[in-house]
Structure 1
Amino acid sequence: MCGNNMSAPLPAIVPAARKATAAVIFLHGLGDTGHGWAEAFAGIRIPHVKYICPHAFDIYGLSPDANEDESGIKRASENLKALIDQEVKNGIPSHRIMLGGFSQGGALSLYTALTTQQKLAGVVALSCWLPLRNSFPQASANSVNKDMHVLQCHGDADPLVPFIFGSQTAERVKSLINPANITFKTYRGLPHSACPEEMVDIKRFIEKQLPPIRDE
């Protein structure tokens, strides 16, 4: 997200079919926009869940082996926390909000969930890695999300974010939160992209972690 640039485009939103009592904030990868992911979530929509897909979460140098832009990552993480706060003001408590993202978007959602003081429902982390990994576990020492659930998905034919980065990230995250709450799914032959089988797994995960509230 472009710092405090007030002209940043509004997120692509898939509204809930009825009153929204849960939300998923999902961040795209480098050079993409939120539109494609909004379409993907429209295909697996859950009636009480609102999907928010921001644009312009590009952080240059955020890749598994690049010199990481620490200030950029932290600034983008603060912007993401502000989006969470906005949904809380809209009436959705933070523990009914899930973060997610693809590639650098997944990296940013993992980092934010592990360092924020906002209690979250979980993270969907696709084809990604944990940024600023040398700052952990100190960065997550006071995390309120040690019991959150994480669904991590990775194609075993990913040429951009090698599969080994995904599996190593899962092991690292297991040392930071309850390891029983981490699910790592592998998709045979999948490059740096998503697939229909993965979207079904994501829908099941969201349904489990963000069930309807009884009075809906």
Structure 2
Amino acid sequence: MCGNTMSAPLPAIVPAARKATAAVIFLHGLGDTGHGWAEAMASIKSPHVKYICPHAPIMPVSLNMNMAMPSWFDIIGLSPDAQEDEAGIKKAAENVKALIDQEVKNGIPSNRIILGGFSQGGALSLYTALTTQQKLGGVVALSCWLPLRSSFPQAAANSANKDVAVLQCHGESDPLVPLMFGTITSEKLKTIISPANVKFKTYSGLMHSSCNQEMTDIKQFIDKQLPPVN
């Protein structure tokens, strides 16, 4: 099962209440599944939007003594200068691009798709958005970092998302992915895409999780970027 997304179960989906004219693809964090985030998205859903929460494949994770768990790519360490799983990150990004292509085939244009994620999933959503030629409707990056950040802005040379809207959120008391990671990421993003399009929101007392205010902010961002079409 290592690293092969074909072995992962089908995504958790919150269908649109009427014909889906937009979609949100949201990637969970390390060791999690898409089910919890599908429930969270169901609590803020809009009737014309379909929410897709895929499950990561099971693989050994170096950071957790090689224990096998759901993971988008290997994590070797959690410091800003830790070695990174470059091949795994790039392969995972290709798999996310294939998910976007699938929705385009289903009739939803890529610029009506928001890509998002939490922690490792947020990291992957940022990397994918910045390296794809698929023009996206926005990016939601929660409690995360930009992988392979030293490869940017060069890695974004062919990206269609130089002016994409990004909502980045981070808990001020996050013990796992410290707020500093979010701040470094926000500053880096502003060198890659239009600085006016990068919003960085922090939440007092919030640890490595989400909160009601954050979910409200996410809903407002999604509704603004993916308005209903008549």
Shorter-chain TM-score: which interval?
A: over 0.9
**What's the offset of the Cα at 1:5?**
4.8
SS of equivalent to 2:7: coil
Question: Paired residue for 1:61?
Answer: 75
Percent of residue pairs bearing the same amino acid type: 76
Question: Paired residue for 1:73?
Answer: 89
The amino acid of 1:60's aligned partner reads D
Distance 1:173 1:82 in 2: 24
Distance 1:101 1:184 in 2: 15
Query: Are 1:47 and 2:47 an aligned pair?
Result: yes
Query: Are 1:161 and 2:177 an aligned pair?
Result: yes
Quickly say closer, same or farther: Cα 1:184–1:62, change in 2 above 3 A: farther
Distance 1:34 1:62 in 2: 23
Matching of residues 15-164 of structure 1 within 5 Å:
15-56=15-56, 58=71, 59-61=73-75, 64-65=78-79, 66-164=82-180
The C-alpha deviation readout for 1:12-32, integer Å capped at 9, x for no partner, is 000001000000000000000
CA contact (8 A) 2:143 2:171 kept: yes
The C-alpha deviation readout for 1:82-107, integer Å capped at 9, x for no partner, is 00000000000000011000001000
Q: Which residue of 189, 209, 223 corresponds with 1:207?
A: 223
TM-score normalised by the chain length of structure 2: 0.90
Greater shift in the superposed pair: 138-147 or 94-103? 138-147
The amino acid of 1:90's aligned partner reads N
The C-alpha deviation readout for 1:166-199, integer Å capped at 9, x for no partner, is 0110010011001101110010000000001100
The C-alpha deviation readout for 1:138-158, integer Å capped at 9, x for no partner, is 101221111110000000000
CA contact (8 A) 1:101 1:108 kept: yes
The C-alpha deviation readout for 1:104-156, integer Å capped at 9, x for no partner, is 10000000000000000110000000000011111012211111100000000
**What's the offset of the Cα at 1:62?**
6.2
TM-score normalised by the chain length of structure 1: 0.96
Distance 2:132 2:90 in 1: 11
The amino acid of 1:22's aligned partner reads A
Q: Which residue of 197, 213, 225 corresponds with 1:181?
A: 197
Quickly say closer, same or farther: Cα 1:77–1:62, change in 2 above 3 A: farther
The amino acid of 1:74's aligned partner reads K
Question: Paired residue for 2:12?
Answer: 12
Between the two proteins, the alignment pairs up a number of residues equal to: 214
SS of equivalent to 2:192: coil
SS of equivalent to 1:100: strand
CA contact (8 A) 1:64 1:165 kept: no
CA contact (8 A) 1:62 1:131 kept: no
Question: What is the root-mean-square deviation in Å for CA atoms of aligned residues?
Answer: 1.3
**What's the offset of the Cα at 1:6?**
2.8
CA contact (8 A) 1:124 1:151 kept: yes
**What's the offset of the Cα at 1:64?**
4.3
CA contact (8 A) 1:100 1:124 kept: yes
